[in-house]
Structure 1
């Protein structure tokens, strides 16, 4: 039983981290960079573009599903 609680706790932390990463990536992309510079910026900070794209897609889908389910 204790292990299940630990796993859920870490799952919650991971989910919060994904949302925070998404928030920060979107902020930089929308406010700090010219069009077309996002990929170069990701390379400069050592972040894999596919990871960034998947993170933003996951959060977008979760937000979309949440909004649809609550209307």
Structure 2
């Protein structure tokens, strides 16, 4: 009976350690998820700004080419 009690105690300790490890991994992954969401938002904003700039440059180039062709 003593061995059974010791085995049960070790089993409960292993379970506590396992649960604490899972909780720690969960907190890390939640933090990493927030960090990646922020990085994605930044990239999306930068991508949008670059697309607007590219569109502006294309329009400017088209106007300049049109002016050159008219002369």
Based on CA coordinates, which of the two structures has the bigger radius of gyration?
Answer: 2
Q: TM-score, normalised by structure 1?
A: 0.45
Higher RCO, Cα 8 Å, sep 6+: 1
Give the helix-richer structure, 1 or 2.
Answer: 2
Q: TM-score, normalised by structure 2?
A: 0.45
